[in-house]
Amino acid sequence: MKSGKKRAITGFGFVLLMVLAFAIFAYETLHTVVVKGVSMYPTFKDGQKVLVCRAYWLVGQIKDKDVVVLRDAESADGYIIKRVYKMAGEKVDEVNCPRNWRLANGPFVVPDGKIYVLGDNRAQSEDSRYFGAVEVKSVLGKVVVRR
């Protein structure tokens, strides 16, 4: 009889430990961010909430077409949301290259350690065409769920 009670306590302790571990994991890796502006329209609307994950081992490494949240000191919220257009080493087409890039220099290639991001609503988006490629380390996470 004693061993049955011991197992129940051990089982309960294990479940409690797992719930605590998941809560810490979720708090540290998942964040809700509110979309501001129309630069990602029609994918995201102003005021829409998105869930961002920075546990790349869980959601996969950053790649072309992912939507990411970037740290941005100039933004009122301290972040911006953009779509990854090109990764380090990839060429950016002439239409989307940085505004200050001279085509006489040849194709614009995203430098190592950086990504090139664009808003889905190109006409209303300030993105890498204006501020250039951004450091990968400025990525706060990938958007994994939209509400």
pLDDT for res 15: 81
Low-confidence ranges of the chain (pLDDT < 50): 1, 4
Contacting residues for 5 by C-beta, under 8 A, at least 6 apart:
none
CATH of domain 31-146: 2.10.109.10
DSSP line for 104-129: GG--EEPPTTEEEEE-SSGGG--SHH
Other CB atoms within 10 Å distance of the CB of residue 38: 16
Phi, psi of 116 (to 5 degrees): -110, 120
pLDDT of residue 56: 81
Write the CB contacts of 70 (distance below 8 Å, at least 6 apart in sequence).
79, 80, 81, 82, 117, 134, 138, 139, 140
Coil, helix or strand at residue 29: helix
